[in-house]
Homo-oligomer: A and B are copies of this chain.
């Protein structure tokens, strides 16, 4: 009834979806989960965020998890869990490439991103990747 997803199925789900739930750890011991938009380039997860709780947490402990699913009902769903390392993208070239990937995957992002990129430094969006260590996935159907 519940089965493991194949590598192809996990990749396909990560590529198709752009909404996931990011897990990180606060204060060394409190799990913290927030919805994020992301893009998967076949190798790593890319996303962006204003500075705040999750960025502070990930700077302290770079272990990150991204859970992505498609749920029809409680007996028909698939879910993938990516575990990897948070890595901030700070050089202009890499930041440009990462933002281009995000904008291509998330067209609605354009106005916010261009606003953020022209905002004063403190409010500037943090661009980051999750360097994937492991992907697991299960489905019930």
Contacts and interface: CB of A to CB of B under 8 A. Distances in A.
Interface of A: 19, 21-25, 29-35, 37, 61, 63-67, 69, 71, 73-75, 77, 79, 81, 83, 106, 108-109, 112
A31 B21 CA distance: 11
A34 B108 contact: no
A23 B19 contact: no
Nearest to A67: B33
Number of identical monomers bound together in the oligomeric complex: 2
A138 to B, nearest CB: 9
A63 B77 CA distance: 26
A124 to B, nearest CB: 16
Contacts of A65: 23, 30-33
Contact of A74 (B30, B74, B79, B106): B106
B25 A33 contact: no
A63 B29 contact: yes
A29 B138 CA distance: 23
B33 A23 contact: yes
B19 A71 contact: yes
